Amino acid sequence: MAEEGSEKPEKSAKGPGLMTLLKAVAFVSVIVLLQLAAASMIIPSADETAEIAAKLAAANLGEEDETGTSKETEGEEENPLLAAGEMTEVLVGTFHVLSHNTKTGGSTNVDFDLYATVLADEENEYIDLFSANEQRIREQVLVTLRGTEMTDLTDPTLGLIKRKILEKTNRALGKPLLHEAIFSKFSFEER
Protein backbone atom coordinates (compact mmCIF):
# COMPACT_ATOMS: atom_id res chain seq x y z
CA MET A 1 0.00 0.00 0.00
CA ALA A 2 1.89 2.75 -1.42
CA GLU A 3 -0.67 5.25 -0.37
CA GLU A 4 0.04 4.73 3.31
CA GLY A 5 3.42 6.38 3.00
CA SER A 6 1.98 9.59 1.62
CA GLU A 7 0.34 11.29 4.54
CA LYS A 8 -1.53 14.52 4.26
CA PRO A 9 0.65 17.49 5.02
CA GLU A 10 -0.41 19.38 8.14
CA LYS A 11 -1.47 22.97 7.87
CA SER A 12 1.50 25.06 8.71
CA ALA A 13 -0.37 28.37 8.70
CA LYS A 14 -3.22 28.56 11.20
CA GLY A 15 -6.13 30.91 10.58
CA PRO A 16 -7.34 33.33 13.21
CA GLY A 17 -8.70 31.64 16.25
CA LEU A 18 -12.20 31.93 17.58
CA MET A 19 -11.08 34.23 20.41
CA THR A 20 -9.43 36.64 17.96
CA LEU A 21 -12.64 36.90 15.92
CA LEU A 22 -14.72 37.44 19.07
CA LYS A 23 -12.36 40.20 20.22
CA ALA A 24 -12.65 41.96 16.83
CA VAL A 25 -16.46 41.74 16.84
CA ALA A 26 -16.60 43.00 20.44
CA PHE A 27 -14.30 45.93 19.59
CA VAL A 28 -16.41 46.98 16.59
CA SER A 29 -19.61 46.61 18.66
CA VAL A 30 -18.24 48.86 21.40
CA ILE A 31 -17.28 51.52 18.83
CA VAL A 32 -20.77 51.43 17.26
CA LEU A 33 -22.45 51.69 20.67
CA LEU A 34 -20.27 54.66 21.62
CA GLN A 35 -21.20 56.40 18.36
CA LEU A 36 -24.91 55.76 18.96
CA ALA A 37 -24.65 57.15 22.49
CA ALA A 38 -22.86 60.27 21.26
CA ALA A 39 -25.39 60.79 18.46
CA SER A 40 -28.34 60.43 20.84
CA MET A 41 -26.86 63.16 23.04
CA ILE A 42 -26.34 65.53 20.10
CA ILE A 43 -29.61 65.01 18.17
CA PRO A 44 -32.46 67.10 19.63
CA SER A 45 -35.64 65.47 20.88
CA ALA A 46 -38.98 65.79 19.06
CA ASP A 47 -40.11 68.54 21.45
CA GLU A 48 -36.90 70.52 20.95
CA THR A 49 -37.23 70.13 17.18
CA ALA A 50 -40.81 71.42 17.25
CA GLU A 51 -39.72 74.39 19.38
CA ILE A 52 -36.87 75.24 17.00
CA ALA A 53 -39.22 74.96 14.00
CA ALA A 54 -41.73 77.30 15.65
CA LYS A 55 -39.00 79.85 16.36
CA LEU A 56 -37.72 79.69 12.78
CA ALA A 57 -41.23 80.06 11.35
CA ALA A 58 -41.90 83.02 13.61
CA ALA A 59 -38.56 84.59 12.67
CA ASN A 60 -39.41 84.24 8.98
CA LEU A 61 -42.68 86.05 9.58
CA GLY A 62 -41.04 88.63 11.87
CA GLU A 63 -43.20 87.75 14.86
CA GLU A 64 -40.58 87.39 17.59
CA ASP A 65 -41.05 89.11 20.90
CA GLU A 66 -38.27 90.71 22.95
CA THR A 67 -37.03 87.42 24.44
CA GLY A 68 -36.56 85.82 21.03
CA THR A 69 -39.46 83.41 21.44
CA SER A 70 -42.33 83.37 19.02
CA LYS A 71 -45.84 84.49 19.78
CA GLU A 72 -48.00 81.42 19.59
CA THR A 73 -51.69 81.51 18.87
CA GLU A 74 -53.85 78.81 20.35
CA GLY A 75 -54.94 76.32 17.70
CA GLU A 76 -54.48 78.74 14.80
CA GLU A 77 -52.07 77.95 12.02
CA GLU A 78 -51.64 80.61 9.37
CA ASN A 79 -50.42 80.14 5.84
CA PRO A 80 -47.23 82.24 5.50
CA LEU A 81 -48.35 83.54 2.10
CA LEU A 82 -51.72 84.59 3.47
CA ALA A 83 -50.09 86.18 6.51
CA ALA A 84 -48.01 88.40 4.22
CA GLY A 85 -51.05 89.38 2.14
CA GLU A 86 -54.09 88.00 0.38
CA MET A 87 -53.66 85.92 -2.75
CA THR A 88 -55.40 86.87 -5.98
CA GLU A 89 -56.04 84.74 -9.04
CA VAL A 90 -55.01 86.23 -12.37
CA LEU A 91 -55.63 84.88 -15.87
CA VAL A 92 -52.40 83.96 -17.65
CA GLY A 93 -54.16 82.89 -20.82
CA THR A 94 -56.26 80.43 -22.77
CA PHE A 95 -54.17 77.83 -24.55
CA HIS A 96 -54.68 75.34 -27.37
CA VAL A 97 -51.61 73.16 -27.89
CA LEU A 98 -51.37 70.68 -30.73
CA SER A 99 -48.17 68.64 -30.79
CA HIS A 100 -47.19 65.93 -33.24
CA ASN A 101 -45.22 62.85 -32.17
CA THR A 102 -42.95 61.76 -35.03
CA LYS A 103 -42.19 58.40 -33.39
CA THR A 104 -45.79 57.21 -33.23
CA GLY A 105 -47.25 59.38 -35.97
CA GLY A 106 -49.97 60.54 -33.58
CA SER A 107 -50.74 63.94 -32.18
CA THR A 108 -51.85 65.33 -28.84
CA ASN A 109 -54.38 68.12 -28.49
CA VAL A 110 -54.41 70.00 -25.16
CA ASP A 111 -56.86 72.80 -24.28
CA PHE A 112 -56.92 74.72 -20.99
CA ASP A 113 -57.27 78.06 -19.26
CA LEU A 114 -54.27 78.89 -17.09
CA TYR A 115 -54.64 80.98 -13.96
CA ALA A 116 -52.01 81.82 -11.38
CA THR A 117 -52.03 83.19 -7.85
CA VAL A 118 -50.15 86.34 -6.89
CA LEU A 119 -50.08 88.37 -3.71
CA ALA A 120 -52.74 91.08 -3.81
CA ASP A 121 -50.20 93.84 -3.18
CA GLU A 122 -48.05 92.55 -6.09
CA GLU A 123 -50.92 92.29 -8.56
CA ASN A 124 -50.25 95.66 -10.24
CA GLU A 125 -46.57 94.82 -10.63
CA TYR A 126 -47.54 91.47 -12.15
CA ILE A 127 -49.91 93.13 -14.62
CA ASP A 128 -47.18 95.53 -15.76
CA LEU A 129 -44.59 92.75 -16.15
CA PHE A 130 -47.11 90.43 -17.79
CA SER A 131 -48.11 92.99 -20.41
CA ALA A 132 -44.42 93.64 -21.18
CA ASN A 133 -43.59 89.90 -21.42
CA GLU A 134 -46.89 88.34 -22.52
CA GLN A 135 -45.56 86.63 -25.64
CA ARG A 136 -42.51 85.27 -23.81
CA ILE A 137 -44.73 83.81 -21.12
CA ARG A 138 -47.08 82.34 -23.72
CA GLU A 139 -44.12 80.78 -25.53
CA GLN A 140 -42.77 79.26 -22.30
CA VAL A 141 -46.15 77.67 -21.52
CA LEU A 142 -46.42 76.26 -25.05
CA VAL A 143 -42.85 74.90 -25.00
CA THR A 144 -43.49 73.31 -21.61
CA LEU A 145 -46.67 71.60 -22.81
CA ARG A 146 -45.11 70.37 -26.03
CA GLY A 147 -42.24 68.83 -24.08
CA THR A 148 -44.41 66.86 -21.67
CA GLU A 149 -44.85 63.12 -21.68
CA MET A 150 -48.23 61.40 -21.75
CA THR A 151 -47.75 60.30 -18.13
CA ASP A 152 -47.44 63.97 -17.08
CA LEU A 153 -50.74 64.79 -18.79
CA THR A 154 -52.54 61.90 -17.09
CA ASP A 155 -51.37 62.93 -13.60
CA PRO A 156 -54.54 64.04 -11.74
CA THR A 157 -52.77 66.98 -10.08
CA LEU A 158 -50.62 67.92 -13.11
CA GLY A 159 -47.91 68.61 -10.53
CA LEU A 160 -44.84 68.41 -12.75
CA ILE A 161 -46.40 70.57 -15.46
CA LYS A 162 -47.46 73.18 -12.88
CA ARG A 163 -43.95 73.35 -11.40
CA LYS A 164 -42.34 73.72 -14.82
CA ILE A 165 -44.80 76.43 -15.87
CA LEU A 166 -44.28 78.35 -12.61
CA GLU A 167 -40.51 78.18 -12.97
CA LYS A 168 -40.50 79.31 -16.59
CA THR A 169 -43.11 82.05 -16.24
CA ASN A 170 -41.44 83.52 -13.16
CA ARG A 171 -38.14 83.49 -15.05
CA ALA A 172 -39.81 85.26 -18.00
CA LEU A 173 -41.28 87.84 -15.61
CA GLY A 174 -37.86 88.39 -14.05
CA LYS A 175 -39.29 88.07 -10.55
CA PRO A 176 -41.02 85.22 -8.65
CA LEU A 177 -44.47 86.78 -8.52
CA LEU A 178 -46.52 83.68 -9.36
CA HIS A 179 -47.03 81.30 -6.44
CA GLU A 180 -49.34 78.65 -7.85
CA ALA A 181 -50.52 77.56 -11.29
CA ILE A 182 -54.19 76.63 -11.65
CA PHE A 183 -55.63 74.80 -14.65
CA SER A 184 -59.25 75.40 -15.57
CA LYS A 185 -61.18 73.54 -18.28
CA PHE A 186 -58.21 71.22 -18.85
CA SER A 187 -58.69 68.57 -21.51
CA PHE A 188 -56.38 66.57 -23.72
CA GLU A 189 -56.90 64.14 -26.52
CA GLU A 190 -54.41 61.79 -28.12
CA ARG A 191 -55.02 60.90 -31.76
If pLDDT is split at 50, 70 and 90, which confidence band does 43 have? confident
In a domain, 2, yes or no: no
Same domain, 177 and 87: yes
What number of helices (H) and strands (E) belong to the chain? 6, 3
- Percentage of residues of the chain with pLDDT beyond 90: 38
Same domain, 44 and 27: yes
Q: Find the domain containing 42 and state its range.
A: 18-77
- Domain end call among 10, 42, 77: 77
Q: Cβ-count burial of 43 within 10 angstroms (0-12 exposed, 13-18 middle, 19+ buried)?
A: exposed
Which CATH number belongs to the domain containing residue 186 in this structure?
Answer: 3.30.479.30
Same domain, 107 and 70: no
- Domain end call among 33, 50, 77: 77
Per-residue pLDDT tens over the stretch 85-98: 688 999 999 999 98
Q: Residue 155 has what pLDDT?
A: 87
